[in-house]
């Protein structure tokens, strides 16, 4: 079975075939770094990190680029409000973003290009578009002429009229057509900018991804990913810029977009005030719980993100880690996962809910297995977890470490367990029961067995 993906442009699942044998080039739109990222920003990172892992198991070379937008009007506004340089604010929040994504068990991409490092590339691309008749200068701006491209709108499957009706289009007297979009705009003396053939200014948002892809991955890439909200206008305009700059050459072979996250049945947004930052959630839940929750729905579907989902996910991971804890002394073995149901689910357009269900069955079988089968089942569970960025923590640590910095320490728990054991030896059963209840009130559950007392946090 080979990898199949849903291609947004063709609106169907297709067998994936990279342009070059055994080499995959993938680009995913990264964050605009002006604040801490919310859980909606984390979904594409987790989704395409999982795809990155699967691709690495299938192909010898996978180049994964995810950009950082470090010049933008939102960044300028936040820096002005904070009274700090734009570069300083952007660098700080880029670092915070990477720290949060590390906590969600995301691998670092192969390439992390920053927009401000590629302004010369952007200027060059704009000049080519002007020279080819696809862009024009007007009052210090350079705009892409959408009517110059015969199939503009093919990605989002919209006509020019539909796109104007469905988008907030800036009305400007210097535009030849209302749908034309900005490639370059002027900056005032107190705003960040670069010298260009059209004066001191800065690039439009859509331009940066086209320029960075060209610089690092070439004119045609295999996969371009991002959230569904980017299909139009951002990705539509990327297609226009890149195809026209490259004389109609194919830009992206497979477009992949993840669905929205809803909170309380409504699409999450800052205007509604119903968004949660990843940092805030990490103070309450382990990063692996958040990651697994994001993978509990198929990536293209909308998902409801809630406390109930996080609690259900924690219980699911507890059951996996409990199975692994019971076989901690069993040596892992080499296993081939290519014929496993969880692997086939991942190859089927990244069907992570089915894959997680298959891992649940392996964990169940591991709990009931005889000694001869335990090494293989343990190894399959670990390998399946690795492909989804899960189950790589020490099982004992999973149950004893807390999310954030709160809660009774492991040392204090061990001391109380030792006191409880001594109380039992002294036949002071009332104190032993009191300690159990005391720990339970602090979210610590004791599990007595012939081998001794284990504990876990609820």
Average pLDDT, the chain: 93
pLDDT at site 167: 53
What's the number of CA atoms in the CB half-sphere (13 Å) around residue 42?
Answer: 34
- The rounded percent of the chain whose pLDDT value lies above 90 is 79
- 43-57, 177-191, 347-361: range with lowest mean pLDDT: 177-191
Element of type H or E holding 186: strand 181-186
% residues pLDDT > 70 (the chain): 96
Instruction: Calculate ∠ Cα 372-374-377, nearest 5°.
Output: 125
Asked if pLDDT for residue 166 goes beyond 60, the answer is no
Q: Is the pLDDT of residue 55 over 90?
A: yes
335: phi then psi, degrees, rounded to nearest 5: -135, 145
129 pLDDT band (50/70/90 cuts)? very high
Which residues are CB-contacts of 70 (< 8 A; sequence separation ≥ 6)? Answer: 33, 87, 90, 91, 94, 114, 115, 116
Token pair for residue 243?
């195809």
pLDDT category, 403, cuts 50, 70, 90?
confident
Angle, helices 205-216 vs 119-131, to 10°: value is 100
Band (408; pLDDT cuts 50, 70, 90): confident
Amino acid 1: pLDDT:
81
Residue 169, pLDDT above cutoff 60: no
In 3D, which of 219, 182, 214 has the Cα closest to residue 201? 182
pLDDT surpassing 80 at residue 252: yes
Residue 274: its pLDDT value, please? Answer: 67
3-class DSSP state of 61: strand
**What is the dihedral angle through the alpha carbons of 132, 134, 136, 142, rounded to the nearest 10 degrees?**
-110
Q: For position 155, what pLDDT does the model report? A: 96
Average pLDDT over residues 108-116: 98
Q: What is the mean pLDDT of residues 267-271?
A: 65
H runs (alpha helix) in 133-286:
160-166, 205-216, 236-245, 278-282
Q: What does the block give as tokens for 200?
A: 């001191």
Can you say whether the dihedral through the CA atoms of 7, 8, 9, 13 is positive or negative? positive
Q: What is the pLDDT of residue 195?
A: 97
Question: pLDDT tens digits for 289-307?
Answer: 999 999 999 999 999 999 9
More confident residue, 441 or 107: 107
What is the average per-residue pLDDT within 362-389? 98
Average pLDDT over every residue of 316-339 = 96
CB 30 within 8 Å of CB 115: no
pLDDT at position 417 over 80? yes
Lowest pLDDT segment from 117-131, 204-218, 413-427: 413-427
Of 225 and 271, the one with more pLDDT: 225
Task: Report residue 159's pLDDT band, with 50, 70 and 90 as the boundaries.
Answer: confident
Flag the least confident range among 48-62, 234-248, 270-284, 415-429.
Answer: 270-284
Query: What are the pLDDT digits (tens) for 141-151?
Result: 999 999 999 99
pLDDT band at 432 (very low <50, low <70, confident <90, very high): confident
C-alpha to C-alpha distance for 106 and 100, rounded to whole angstroms: 9
pLDDT of res. 409:
83
- CA dist 76 and 65 (Å) reads 25
Report helix, strand or coil for 76.
Answer: helix
The residues near 412 (Cβ < 8 Å, ≥ 6 apart) are none
Top-confidence range, 155-159, 260-264, 364-368: 364-368
Q: What is the mean pLDDT of residues 381-403?
A: 93
pLDDT band at residue 341 under the 50/70/90 scheme: very high
Global pTM reads 0.89
pLDDT for the residue numbered 170? 64
């Amino acid at each position: 079975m080979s990898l199949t993906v849903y291609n947004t442009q063709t609106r169907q699942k297709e067998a994936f075939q990279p342009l070059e044998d055994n080499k995959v080039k993938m680009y995913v739109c990264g964050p605009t770094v002006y604040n801490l990222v919310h859980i909606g920003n984390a979904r594409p990172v987790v989704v395409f990190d999982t795809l990155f892992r699967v691709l690495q198991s299938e192909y010898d070379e996978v180049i994964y680029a995810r950009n950082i937008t470090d010049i933008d009007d939102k960044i300028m506004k936040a820096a002005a409000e904070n009274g700090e340089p734009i570069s300083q604010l952007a660098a700080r929040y880029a670092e915070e973003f990477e720290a949060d994504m590390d906590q969600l068990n995301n691998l670092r991409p192969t390439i992390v290009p920053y927009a401000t490092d590629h302004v010369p590339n952007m200027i060059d691309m704009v000049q080519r578009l002007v020279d080819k008749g696809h862009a024009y200068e007007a009052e210090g701006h350079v705009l892409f002429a959408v009517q110059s491209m015969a199939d503009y709108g093919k990605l989002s499957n919209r006509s020019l009229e539909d796109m104007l009706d469905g988008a907030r289009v800036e009305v400007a007297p210097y535009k030849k057509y209302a749908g034309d979009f900005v490639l370059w705009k002027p900056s005032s003396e107190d705003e960040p900018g670069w010298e260009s053939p059209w004066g001191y200014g800065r690039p439009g948002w859509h331009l940066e991804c086209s320029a960075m892809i060209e610089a690092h991955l070439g004119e045609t890439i295999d996969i371009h990913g991002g959230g569904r909200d980017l299909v139009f206008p951002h990705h539509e305009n990327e297609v226009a810029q890149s195809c026209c700059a490259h004389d109609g050459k194919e830009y992206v072979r497979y477009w992949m977009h993840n669905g929205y996250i809803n909170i309380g049945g409504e699409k999450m947004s800052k205007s509604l005030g119903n968004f949660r930052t990843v940092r805030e959630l990490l103070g309450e839940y382990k990063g692996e719980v958040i990651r697994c929750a994001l993978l509990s729905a198929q990536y293209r579907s909308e998902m409801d993100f809630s406390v109930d989902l996080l609690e259900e996910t924690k219980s699911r991971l507890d059951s996996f880690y409990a199975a692994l804890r019971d076989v901690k002394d069993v040596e892992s073995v080499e296993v081939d996962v290519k014929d496993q149901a969880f692997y086939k689910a991942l190859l089927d357009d990244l069907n992570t809910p089915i894959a997680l269900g298959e891992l649940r069955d392996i964990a169940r079988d591991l709990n009931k297995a005889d000694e001869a089968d335990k090494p293989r089942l343990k190894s399959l569970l670990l390998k399946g977890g690795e492909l989804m960025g899960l189950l790589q923590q020490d099982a004992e640590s999973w149950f004893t470490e807390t999310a954030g910095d709160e809660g009774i320490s492991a040392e204090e728990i061990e001391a109380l367990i030792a006191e409880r054991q001594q109380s039992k030896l002294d036949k002071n059963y009332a104190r032993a029961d009191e300690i159990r209840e005391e720990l339970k009130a602090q979210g610590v559950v004791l599990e007595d067995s012939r081998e001794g007392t284990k504990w876990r946090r609820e």
